Structure 1
Amino acid sequence: MKCALPVLLLFLPALCLAQGRPNPPCDRWPTNIAENSLRDTGMLGNIDYTKTQAVQLASEKIGKYEDGEQLWREVYHITFHEKNGNKIKVITVNDAGEFECLISSVEVFVVSRHLLPGVENDRMFKQIE
């Protein structure tokens, strides 16, 4: 029993390996769609584009497209910074091909508040912010 924990810890890195798309992530497509959606609803004003951030949260194989191309479901956390200091945060979900970002429409979810008590010092959440 004493050896079980060290053995489990040795296998932990193998469990954390996520298989992402072989090509660079397509963060511009969901960012542009989210920006247009927010503008259409009047939720977004004057953006400081130099501060806009898109962090990929997940990328998962979901099957094959009609032509045999591998399909991926991608999830992004996007933060828009307005010039007046406001931040608008969204989560986007879309399907992307192995070589094409524009496979499906983009679902946009506005994040109104993060409830993260006690994780302010967590490295993962600091990277997203």
Structure 2
Amino acid sequence: MKHALAVLLLTLPALCLAQGRPNPPCDRWPTNIAEGRLKSAGILGSIDYTKTEAVQLASEKIGKYEDGEQMWREVYHITFHEKNGNKVKVIAVNEGAGEFECSIGGVDVFIVSGHLPSRDTDRVFKQIE
């Protein structure tokens, strides 16, 4: 019985992962903003849009707007595939997605310059890669 309780307590955090917003998915808004900023900075060339990937890493409620609409902060790992074979990876933080509108707040874009994988194979990183 003690072991069953210990296992339950250890698995509880996995059951409490942040859930995304209940309404429209907002991966396109931060992806479009990131693309524009990367192209303006000369970091991103011609993109193969069929391979562009955006994986939501986190979502949290951060307050309410004046009209009472729930406000969310969303974090995405975005991979752009250039037509020349290069990949450009970024983390995009959408500060202020609403329940029904994705583009209410600004988007911070962080360029991922490298990845140090753990020795153990991690399912989450496999999904992102």
**TM-score for both structures, normalised by structure 2:** 0.90
Report deviation, 1:11.
Answer: 4.0
Report deviation, 1:103.
Answer: 1.2
Report deviation, 1:43.
Answer: 0.3
Corresponding residue for residue 102 of structure 2: 101
Corresponding residue for residue 70 of structure 1: 70
Corresponding residue for residue 6 of structure 1: 4
Distance 2:90 2:10 in 1: 31
Residue ranges of structure 2 left out of the alignment (5+ in a row): none
Distance 2:97 2:57 in 1: 14
Query: Which secondary structure does the structure 2 equivalent of 1:34 belong to?
Result: helix
What is the one-letter code of the residue matched to 2:92? T
Report deviation, 1:9.
Answer: 1.9
Whether the 8 Å CA contact 2:24–2:100 is kept in 1: the answer is no
Report deviation, 1:12.
Answer: 4.5
Distance 1:112 1:23 in 2: 32
Residue ranges of structure 1 left out of the alignment (5+ in a row): none
What is the one-letter code of the residue matched to 1:25? P
> Number of paired residues?
126
- Structure 1 residue 34 corresponds to structure 2 residue 38: no
96-105 vs 13-22, which deviates more? 13-22
Whether the 8 Å CA contact 2:71–2:99 is kept in 1: the answer is yes
Distance 1:20 1:117 in 2: 26
- Structure 1 residue 15 corresponds to structure 2 residue 16: no
Corresponding residue for residue 85 of structure 2: 85
Corresponding residue for residue 113 of structure 1: 114
Distance 1:84 1:39 in 2: 15
Distance 2:111 2:70 in 1: 29
Report deviation, 1:24.
Answer: 3.5
**TM-score for both structures, normalised by structure 1:** 0.90
- Structure 1 residue 54 corresponds to structure 2 residue 54: yes
Report deviation, 1:115.
Answer: 1.3
Q: Deviation per CA, 1:44-65, whole angstroms, max 9, x where unpaired?
A: 0111101000000000001101
Corresponding residue for residue 124 of structure 1: 124
Distance 2:107 2:26 in 1: 12
